[in-house]
Structure 1
Amino acid sequence: MKTRRFCPHCGRPVVKSRIKGYTFQCNNCDEDFYRFEVLRIKDMRIVKQLCQQTIRHERQNGCKLFSVYKPYPNTSKNMKQKEILVRYHSADVGFCREIWQAKPENEKANWLGYDTECGDWMFLSGGPYGYAEPEHSVPKEIEIVICNSDWIEYYRTGNDRTRFPDGFPTFDQACEKHWNTIRHEHLPTVGKPELVHFLEEVKPDNLCNIDNLNWNYNYYHNIDPDNLIEDGIRVSREDKGDFKTAFLMHFDYMGKRYHIVRYAQHHSMCNARWYMYAVVALIDGKINGNMYWLGNGLISNK
């Protein structure tokens, strides 16, 4: 039965919904809609644009092609359970999500996003090297197989809350969990605004805007006499006794080793000193950038 209504996400014709309270359903997006949410014949220009984008996406990602002029077949019945193997890539903190790489098919990597607030999985376009824009939710019948860097299975989850009610621990949660086991052994941590205030207490008067920003954010170096950090412009090998960068502990997340590091940071233009705590992954045995920031421990600005 033709509904003469179209999906606002992919442009395909929708069918009558079997879920009470909803009017239409798109099998391609695995989503149900109210009557006012779908597109109509009068919106055909938008529908055609969506269809073109859908066809382009499915061809680029090696998907099985179905007609955009007919409702997407309901593949959730009488079919073998589908799964997608993923491994952790990075955190997109500003958008409250993690980026996961799906196991490449046809020599092309796809990217999934995990919403760390609501626990939903979504397909991403653009990947982690540009703007990773959400496309649509992962269908509920698909299982997400969490793997380590060698694609060895560690955990199974998905968007079906009846089968996976608890989700799984995110990278952020794992970092905070292990940090909490040793937090009491170190200085109380503060956020970046408190660190800026700490530095502004000893800042010279009449600095220009650029010098003011540099004083608060750029005029510092990491004290690392033990050569733990890869060589860089903000690394000093000067020996200042116990005030130095050090490893505090390590833990494993999805089969990969991470370290909690205490950076010893010294202001380049005054005597201010503080620690910065962060989670890192080593590259060739050296610290090269942070994966997760834990806080700052203030020592002295005199």
Structure 2
Amino acid sequence: MVASDGLQFTPGELDRDAVFYVAGHRGLVGSAIWRRLEAAGFSRLIGRTSSELDLKDRDAVFEFFAAERPRYVVLAAAKVGGIMANSTYPVDFLSDNMRIQVNVLDAARSVDVERVLFLGSSCIYPKFAEQPIREDSLLTGHLEPTNDAYAIAKIAGILHVQAVRRQYGLPWISAMPTNLYGPNDNFSPQGSHVLPALIRRYDEAARSGAPVVTNWGTGTPRREFLHADDMADACLHLLEHYDGPEQVNVGTGSDVTIAGIASVVASVVGFTGATEWDTSKPDGTPQKLLDVSKLAEAGWRSSISLEEGLRRTVEWYREHVGKLRG
């Protein structure tokens, strides 16, 4: 394959005995990727918790890469949060994520890591991008103000990967997932994204017998949701089947209103009360549906339905509710 940046590389099956570093292996996406790689037979997976390796500490990151010398890296580590967290702490989301990305990518380049997969977010695209959102919509319009700092950090990561391809000839790639959910998500009231927040809210209401659940906004924005296990499968597929400078959207290709997903969550957890909407709170982007035709061309489609994924996630949440962060 000859990529548009002139890089010549032919993707193929990864060496199951090579050192493979998953940055952020305890998080929602990273833990799913770890499980998928284990199932695929990778025997030398390495990961470090934030207490073992602070990815914002440049010297520590370089020392780690020099010692371990991984052949493959998935960069799934990031500071993440929902609308409230992003709106309240934009400096933290920009500064922390920029430092994590720059340190890991620079350190990986210093030891010539063969394949890096950088994971971004669909919030990199303009607020009013044409739907479904194609990869070439990047940098064509204004971002959603409630998470623009986080989005800018992720855009910088994409450009960093593209720059490494141009300057050093390493076949690194980027993937942009839609809204993800599943085991090991953040269910805290202050830091969670919309779906785990809804699961926690409706489950607590069902358990307490509350008659009403109140959600933010109008319920009319449309969102696409992908189970983390599907995302992990897509990541391994891309590493073995795709090479190119442009980021690849990863999603299901279909979306649902926030009100619609709230209704499904209520049904799954057994909440039979009423749902009200606090329209004084922000909605965020009106619609975020990814065009996943590039991913389909690479030979991958999602397989976990929203209903099945929600059932799995609610089961996991109820098993771990007493030990969750926040």
Q: TM-score range by the shorter chain?
A: under 0.3
Tell which has more relative contact order, 1 or 2 (C-alpha 8 A, sep 6+).
2
The alignment's TM-score, normalised by the length of structure 2, stands at 0.23
Q: TM-score scaled by structure 1?
A: 0.24
- Structure label with greater radius of gyration: 1
More helix by share: 2
Structure whose residues are more often strand by fraction:
1
